[in-house]
Structure 1
Amino acid sequence: MTADMSDKAALRSQLLAARARLTSHDVESAGELLARGARELAELADASTVAAYVSVGREPGTRALLDALRARGTRVLLPVLLPDNDLDWAAYEGAERLAKAGRGLLEPTGPRLGPEAVCAADAVLLPGLAVDGRGMRLGRGGGSYDRVLARLARAGADPALVVLLYADEVVARVPEEPHDHPVHAVVTPDGVRRFERL
């Protein structure tokens, strides 16, 4: 294991421990603020298609945002985890059309659109545990979104990349590896921060 990988593992453990201490009220309150901040984000307001995800557990909440995007006519794509950890996509058709899947995830029950469907998105909401001042994102380490970002790059797609986090998850530095890509913006309950596109 390289130093950066070991540093990432240590930071992940620390951040997941902090999330575990959050109450349901903390998570719900943050979710409402995140939805409001994200709805006002130009990158999402102007998007006809947004690739997003359904938050689970103590992740910063996405449910209110998914419903708000759908209500204003935005096409929302949600991931479906494949056996090899890659992601397929399906349209979000409301909370009642989500089903429990492996690893405690909620996935859409509609037709699968294929892994390349994400390339049509104008904005992609990425799950994460932290982001730093350069826009480098720390994910959970499963590699699913690394594949998504590589797929977007291969296709020449350039959607806005946005991560939703708690305020204390904007950190001084995220250890990076060659395959890591920076995001363009982070939304926290305290507001929005944008990063220069490289």
Structure 2
Amino acid sequence: MQHLSPIKELKKKLRLEALGRRDALVPEFRIEASMRIADFGLAAISLEPGAIVSGFWPIRSEVDLRPLLFGLRERGARLCLPAIIDKQTILFRELVRGAPMIDTGFGTVGPPVEAPVLDPTLMLVPLAAFDVRGHRIGYGAGYYDRAIAHLQIKGVNPRLIGVAFDCQQVETVPDEPHDVPLEAILTESGLRHFS
């Protein structure tokens, strides 16, 4: 049996605790908080014309980003959602009005295979936990870390804004060399930038 490193063990513990707090939020609170997140995001996020924004369709007890995504589209953003290609890779497929949604892995849905693949300039990043320094704990598969690294190799340095509920904050995320800190975190309390 494979043993996790102490950092991985701690991340796993923090992830499970934060997700437990998120799962405990009542649905009515999650809906209200998601609407507040959309309002704060639309008021605070500046976009260049034609910006490509990656978001995510909510699974389990996640923030519902759809009100924010559709508001950003009204401002001229092109939207895309992640699709899991294999055990290592996610790509971002364009989300257009009226297109069918298909199963894209990990319990998520997204645009079909024929949708154009886009390189996001702003990524609204899902996460399990975050700290005051802008470090995040994902769901443990590393898809976003690899996707961000892949974009950077291509010369695309997307702005990274984590989206979560306040209850997902932890004191300190143990960071590793490959971790890329977030520019900001968007919660029901507003948009907080990290230095």
Whether TM-score is above 0.5 comes out as yes
The question of whether the paired residues in 1 share the 8 Å contact of 2:22 and 2:168 is answered with no
2:106 is paired with a residue whose SS is helix
| Alignment partner, residue 164 of structure 2 | 165
The question of whether the paired residues in 1 share the 8 Å contact of 2:99 and 2:111 is answered with no
The question of whether the paired residues in 1 share the 8 Å contact of 2:42 and 2:72 is answered with yes
Deviation, structure 1 residue 81 = 0.9
| Alignment partner, residue 10 of structure 2 | 7
- Residue 6 of structure 2 aligns to which amino acid in structure 1? A
Distance, in Å, in 2 between the alignment partners of 1:125 and 1:172 is 22
| Alignment partner, residue 142 of structure 1 | 141
Deviation, structure 1 residue 97 = 2.9
Distance, in Å, in 2 between the alignment partners of 1:42 and 1:101 is 27
| Alignment partner, residue 26 of structure 1 | 29
TM (normalized to structure 1)? 0.88
Of 179-188 and 53-62, the range deviating more from structure 2: 53-62
**Count of aligned pairs:** 192
CA spacing shift, 1:91–1:25, aligned 2, 3 Å: same
| Alignment partner, residue 48 of structure 1 | 51
| Alignment partner, residue 93 of structure 1 | 96
- Residue 74 of structure 1 aligns to which amino acid in structure 2? A
Deviation, structure 1 residue 159 = 2.1
TM (normalized to structure 2)? 0.89
Distance, in Å, in 2 between the alignment partners of 1:139 and 1:47 is 28
The question of whether the paired residues in 1 share the 8 Å contact of 2:19 and 2:168 is answered with no
* 5+ residue gaps, structure 2: none
1:171 is paired with a residue whose SS is coil
Deviation, structure 1 residue 140 = 0.6
CA RMSD of aligned residues (A): 1.9
Q: Which runs of 4+ in 1 moved over 4 A?
A: 44-47
* 5+ residue gaps, structure 1: none
Distance, in Å, in 1 between the alignment partners of 2:104 and 2:123 is 21
